[in-house]
Amino acid sequence: MRLIVMGDLHYSSELIEADDQMIEAREAFYTGYLSEFLAFSADYHLSIGDLTHAGKPSEFDFIMSKVKSELSQGEFLYALGNHDTHTCSKGDLQALTGQHRYLAIEEEEAVLLVLDTARENPDHWGGMIDEEQLNWLRGQMNRYEQKPLLVFAHHPVYATTARSTEPMMSLDAELDIWSILNEHQGPGIFFNGHNHVQSVFQRDHWHFVQLAAVPDIPAVLLVNLQEQQLSINTILLQGTPYQELANIFVKGMYDYEPHPDAKDDGHSTELIVSLSSPKKGMTR
223, 2 contact by CB (below 8 A): yes
Long-range interactions of 162-170: CB distance < 8 A, separation 24+: 162/195, 162/197, 162/198, 162/199, 162/210, 162/264, 162/265, 163/195, 163/197, 163/199, 164/195, 166/195, 167/126, 168/124, 168/125, 168/126, 169/126, 169/194, 169/195, 170/126, 170/127, 170/194
pTM: 0.94
47-51, 73-77, 185-189, 275-279: lowest mean pLDDT where? 275-279
Going by pLDDT thresholds of 50, 70 and 90, the confidence category of residue 268 is low
According to CATH, the superfamily of the domain at 2-283 is: Metallo-dependent phosphatases (3.60.21.10)
In tens, the pLDDT along 99-131 reads 999 999 999 999 999 999 999 998 999 999 999
89/270: higher pLDDT: 89
pLDDT at 76 over 90: yes
pLDDT at 226 over 90: no
Taking residues 239-255, report their average pLDDT.
Answer: 95
Q: What DSSP designation does 67 have? A: H
Q: No. of H helices and E strands in the chain?
A: 6, 13
pLDDT at 91 over 50: yes
What is the average pLDDT score of the chain? 93
Taking residues 250-258, report their average pLDDT.
Answer: 92
Going by pLDDT thresholds of 50, 70 and 90, the confidence category of residue 277 is low
First to last CA, the chain: 21
Burial class (CB in 10 A: 0-12, 13-18, 19+), 276: exposed
State the pLDDT at residue 284.
34
Q: d(Cα 256, Cα 247) in Å, to the nearest integer?
A: 12
